[in-house]
Chains A and B, each alone.
Chain A
Amino acid sequence: MSEPILATRNLRKSFGALTATDDVSIDLYAGEIHAIIGPNGAGKSTLIAQICGGLRPDAGSVHLLGREVTQDSTQARARAGLGRTFQISALAMEDSVLENVVLGALGASGNPWRFWSRALSDASLTAKAEAALERVGLIEHRHTRCAELSHGQRRQLEVAVALTLTPKAFVMDEPMAGLGAEGSKLLTAFLDQLRAEAPILLVEHDMDAVFALADRISVLVYGQVIATGTVDEIRQSHAVREAYLGEEA
């Protein structure tokens, strides 16, 4: 198999006596959706934080496009091609939808040090931002204040901001959280297409979405990966059924 786009090697992070991630090694290859599932408290958020740069691991390493980024800041990892969406929307609520996405385009341009020209009159920024909004279906709401968006629309906006960065890999933390059945279905279809552009590391509780989308699934329990495999392999894994899905699954 070719080199993974994103990889963790033996990541370990403890908080006092609690080991939140224990020797976690995960690969994300081009074109795939790799889902991370696990019960609450399994260490998924800690894992994401270490991958994206919010937390430094006690041991182990993170690699992006073959380069080690373990000591890099969040912004350096973003510039290197890591696109992230948050479990709880991290959006500038006072700003318009367009402004939120233009921020992403501005990040992608790498140059916020312009003090004179109007950001929203800069065609290179707005074209990119509007293209991303078009793709997630929010273009009609571009002048709406972010605070006025529905929960589902905020989830879409999260994805739009990440799109503006044209990342090499996405890390999505529960993008389906709080979406209704319809919203979930739409986003599932969207992510299904998105994987061709950049692989997605998907942390998700919505099992329907995970089983519909994932090429591979890793199951995290008490900070350890107890199994990695295809949907069928995971479904049939005795260890997983016992630890997570429950015997009746």
Chain B
Amino acid sequence: MIPERLVNWIVFAGLLAVPLWAIVVDEPFTITLVTRAVILAIAAVGLNIALGIGGLVSLGHAVFFGLGGYAMGILAYHAQTYTSLDLFGLSLAGTKSMPIIWLVAVVMSALAAWIIGLLSLRTSGVYFIMITLAFGQMFYYFAISWSTYGGEDGLSIYVRNGFPGLNTLVPIQFFGLCFALLCIVLFLNARLQNAPFGLALNAARQVPTRVETVGLNPMRLKLVAFVISGAITGLAGALFADLNRFVSPTMFSWQLSGELIVLIIIGGVGRLYGPVVGACLFVALEHWLGALTEFWHVYLGLILLAIVLFARGGIIGLLTGKEGAHV
């Protein structure tokens, strides 16, 4: 068995090495592919905080991914059309600045997660899954009918948003930005997981009654985890929209929520690098198998089946001999 820390370093180094190699051999598309994996990894790291530590099987995390995406889409749309965004009687200007867009995406997602969490955390188990799914569908259909911002067709943003000091149109620079954010998010996750909050949240997943009898409120712990989780997934949504320069209601779709769960399970539930490994494998399969057959999801399903049946700790668990979190 390989120590988990070593596996994590190998994944980290691999993620950094592939785009650098792509520069050498002049394969910019590979950089975009890895960037896609990095962004999905950020989204899944976010979900893993709720799912892997808090035990919250949210089938509605696409809400936050979509909100992040639309935060980017709407702000950039108003900037590129030189129109103002009228909100609650205020006339706001759009922006092409990534830091501002990220901030809006994070705040909007956190706010939505707080409201959704307050309502759905009154339930548990399959009812929690269904409520989060219902919220996802609400946002999905709202986006479809929101003709101001493209409705079903979505919104195209012609030029990628900017970041001070960088040319984000250069794939490796945009990759670097996303990779740095992934590092920050992973670092936050690692700190949080080992902090008193993480310890209490981890216990709230396993034995909520115990957490109550030591005087802590498991629901409040899970709510805070859900908000942090939603905010991170929202940030990923804004990056994803910037990667594609396009937002559409599919960012809110329940399939996307499901894919995020699937890639966490493949990588390793509750393990720090589980979502990263899952996202890389997912994007690789999507690219290579997807080129061979449009039914590549069948093979993804087989891998998922094998993992669920024979390697409950996901790929990280398989390599390190550690079990995944029981949810």
Contact = CB atoms under 8 A, between A and B. Distances in A.
16 contacts: A52-B213, A53-B212, A74-B209, A75-B214, A76-B215, A78-B214, A79-B215, A103-B199, A103-B211, A106-B214, A112-B199, A114-B196, A115-B198, A116-B191, A119-B195, A125-B196
Interface string B178-210: 000000000000011011111110110011011
Given A84-B213, A106-B199, A112-B216, 11 more contacts: A75-B217, A86-B213, A94-B323, A94-B325, A95-B199, A106-B216, A111-B196, A112-B221, A113-B197, A115-B197, A165-B215
Interface hub of B195, B200, B209 (most chain A Cβ within 10 A): B195
Interface residues of B, number: 27
A119 B196 contact: yes
Contacts of A106: 196, 199-200, 214, 216
| Size band of the interface chain A makes with B | 35 or more
Interface of B: 191-192, 194-200, 202-203, 206-207, 209-217, 221, 224, 323, 325-326
A47 interface: no
Contact of B210 (A76, A92, A94, A108): A92
Contact of B206 (A92, A116, A161): A92
A61 to B, nearest CB: 20
A74 B212 CA distance: 6
A91 B194 contact: no
Contacts of A165: 214-215
Contacts of B199: 95, 99, 102-103, 106, 112, 119
A150 interface: no
Contacts of B215: 75-76, 78-79, 107-108, 110, 165
Interface hub of A79, A99, A102, A119 (most chain B Cβ within 10 A): A119
A73 B212 CA distance: 9
A120 interface: yes
A111 B215 CA distance: 10
B275 to A, nearest CB: 19
Contacts of A53: 212
B323 to A, nearest CB: 7
A118 B194 contact: yes
B100 to A, nearest CB: 25
Interface string A87-100: 00011111100011
Contact of A91 (B191, B192, B198, B207): B207
B202 A92 contact: yes
A2 interface: no
Contacts of A100: 203
B197 A75 contact: no
A119 B209 contact: no
A100 B206 CA distance: 11
Given A94-B323, A103-B203, A117 B196 contact: yes
Interface string A195-210: 0000000000000000
Contacts of A94: 202, 206, 323, 325-326
A78 B192 contact: no
A108 B195 contact: no
Interface string A158-182: 0001001100000000000000000
A92 B203 contact: yes
Interface hub of B196, B207, B210 (most chain A Cβ within 10 A): B196
B196 A95 contact: no
Given A75-B215, A92-B203, A112-B216, A161 B210 contact: yes
A198 to B, nearest CB: 15
Contacts of A248: none
A104 interface: yes
A122 interface: yes
A246 B30 CA distance: 81
Contacts of B191: 115-116
Contacts of B323: 94
**Which 4 residue pairs spanning A and B have beta carbons closest together?**
A107-B214, A78-B215, A74-B212, A79-B215
A247 B265 CA distance: 60
Contacts of A115: 191-192, 195, 197-198
B312 to A, nearest CB: 12
A4 B16 CA distance: 66
Nearest to A171: B213
A165 B212 CA distance: 12
